[in-house]
Amino acid sequence: MSWTLATLAHALGVAHHGPADRAIDSASTLAAAQPHQISFLANRAYTEQLASTQAGAVIVHPDQLDACPTAALVSDNPYATWASALQLLNPATDNEAGVHHTAVVDASADVAPSATIGPHSVVGAHCQVGPGAVVGPHSIIEDHAEIGANSHLVARVYVGSRCLVGQRVIAHPGVVMGGDGFGLAMADGHWVKVPQLGRVVVGDDCEIGANTTIDRGALEDTVLGADVRIDNQVQIAHNVRIGDHTAIAGCVGIAGSTRIGAYCMIAGASGIGGHLTITDRVVITAMSTVVASIDEPGTYGSGIPAQPHQAWKRILVRLTRLDGWIQRLKKLEKNQSETR
């Protein structure tokens, strides 16, 4: 799909500099872009590439406009404008409404005429699938579940019974919403399963990455607020609540009954303990372990960056001696205080 520089600027709500009729039909990096393509500069580390770019137009911050050798779209947030430009240049493919002949849809289910039920999918009794929603191939929607308008379950997505998925939600392949939480009680030397009776409730405009699992609540619901963004292979345990606009990177694990606030960012491979509260606007750095509640906004971390192997072995040796050094220090401090 081709746009002129002027119409693209108007659609994005930004100013343009350069030939208004310049045709833009796709996007690329500063280094690789051609005259028919648009690029962007958001990280100053790539400023040198701006000077030599062959792009037909570049999305830049106002303070980079003078350095731009080609046409420009001027934005206070170039990366966000770039994201919107990519959406315009690469519109989503329309899905054909209707129920595929290999799908199984219970007679009591309420499927909107404009919804799409893909091949080999199953929609259970009394389910609701809203207008424009897409239930992709091999997906399973259990009894009494609801899928909101214009949501897209890409493929092989499972939505458990009575779970609620809001509007415009994207669930990538392999997502499980509403599997049983990890509820067990020990009795007479063996485990007894605790029935998981809550639901998963996903707010509007969420995106859930491939193979992420969100457990249903034990009694209360597991809840994702609006515009929550979750990466691939994240585990969210029963009764967790996540506030609006929070983003969680890949391979994070969140234990049961933890409350995470709004506008938080949790980096990859972090572990969040159970029954904790994390307030709004907290950043957790990569590979951190959170074992206590966080009451103040800010950045927190505990991961140890990779070290050269020989240096790491020395660090480990010193860690094993740390307790002894502390005991010696305490003894020295005690002796000093007694001699004063």
Give the active site residues: 238
Residue 132 zone, left/alpha/beta (φ > 0; ψ -120 to 50; rest): left
Q: How far apart are CA 104 and CA 136, in angstroms?
A: 13
The tokens for 116 are 């799409």
Exposure on the CB side of residue 59, measured as CA atoms within 13 A: 27
What is the radius of gyration, based on Cα positions, of the chain?
26
State whether the Cα torsion 34-35-38-43 is positive or negative: positive
Angle at 206 between CA 156 and CA 144, to 5 degrees: 55
Q: How far apart are CA 212 and CA 260, in angstroms?
A: 17
Q: Which of 79, 84, 57, 83 is nearest to 68 (CA)?
A: 57
The tokens for 143 are 């009894």
Strand 122-123 relative to strand 140-141: parallel, antiparallel, unpaired?
A: parallel
Q: How far apart are CA 44 and CA 156, in angstroms?
A: 40
The residues, any chain, with a CB within 8 Å of residue 63's CB and separated by 6 or more, are: none
Phi, psi of 125 (to 5 degrees): -65, 135
Q: In which order are the strands placed within the sheet that holds 222-224? A: 110-111, 128-129, 146-147, 164-165, 200-202, 222-224, 241-242, 259-260, 277-278
Neighbours of 229 (CB within 10 A): 17
